[in-house]
Amino acid sequence: MLLHQSTWQEVEAYLERSKGIIIPIGSTEQHGPNGLLGTDALCPEIIAHEASKASGLLVAPTFNVGIAQHHMAFAGTITLRPSTMLAAMQDWIDSLVRHGFERLYFLNGHGGNVATIQAAFAESYSDWSLSGESCPHRLKGRNWWELPGIMQICRDTFPVGDGSHATASEVAVTYYGYPDSIKDVKMTPKIAPDGDFADAADYRATFPDGRIGSDPSQATPEKGEAITLAARDALIAEATAFFNSDD
């Protein structure tokens, strides 16, 4: 069940049987020569939509722009300031809590969002802590690749060259979800260099094609399907347990 493809009456009916909702959250930023700009938002969205189809869990619209300032030297990247993302997340949380949701599960696709997501959770809880009242809702954040068992599947699927940005695993998931968007691009070197960066200009100078430590030319829809369906099952189990929990 997808929130944005439901009527308000259907959402009210859902709330009678569950107080939980999954919110895919990611980023719009470069992902190397063959990775889609929406990769970090598309991966959690694809996995969450598969989970919804298999289980009936409610999935919110995707929060698809995040903290991507370090990718701004590559065309098409869109970023939020941390303060903007904090404010937007707070409004999303407050809106859903207003309607009766008590368990909000953010499935994240972008490592650069993690600190801001956690800060948004702290901001949400602080209103209740400062007022002395008990908070009626709980918030959970999970990177999709850290769902139980998924990192090992990614390692087994891509033992060499999965990398840390524009990874073979995430590109494979998007190719499963959007097979018409597959890009056939020769990349040199085959496996991109690894390392650190500072600002956007330094990132572009250090990693000129956008990849970090990866060989995403290995990605196929078939490999993406295996990763996606395993992540789907792990998400269903974890989200269901969270939705049914008392803490």
Residue 246: pLDDT over 90? no
| Residue 67 near residue 85 (C-beta atoms within 8 A) | yes
| Residue 11 near residue 3 (C-beta atoms within 8 A) | yes
Cα–Cα distances in angstroms (integers) from residue 66 to residues 25, 62, 152, in the given order: 8, 11, 26
Q: Where are the domains of the chain?
A: 3-243
Q: How far apart are CA 165 and CA 4, in angstroms?
A: 30
Residue 75, class by beta-carbon neighbours within 10 Å (0-12 exposed, 13-18 middle, 19+ buried)?
exposed
Residue 35 DSSP code: B
Query: Angle 150-157/221-243 helices, nearest 10 degrees?
Result: 170
Cα–Cα distances in angstroms (integers) from residue 231 to residues 6, 93, 94, 184, 227, in the given order: 24, 24, 28, 26, 6
pLDDT in tens, 219-244: 999 999 999 999 999 999 999 999 99
3-243 folds as: Rossmann fold (3.40.50)
**Distance between first and last Cα of the chain:** 25
pLDDT (0 to 100) of residue 27 = 98
Residue 38: pLDDT over 80? yes
pLDDT in tens, 138-157: 999 999 999 999 999 999 99
- Which of left, alpha, beta for 146 (phi over 0: left; psi -120 to 50: alpha)? alpha
CA-closest candidate to residue 159, choices 198, 202, 199, 191: 191
pTM to 2 decimals? 0.97
Tokens representing 97? 């809590």
Amino acid at 164: S
Residue 98, class by beta-carbon neighbours within 10 Å (0-12 exposed, 13-18 middle, 19+ buried)?
exposed
pLDDT (0 to 100) of residue 188 = 96
pLDDT (0 to 100) of residue 61 = 98
pLDDT (0 to 100) of residue 74 = 98
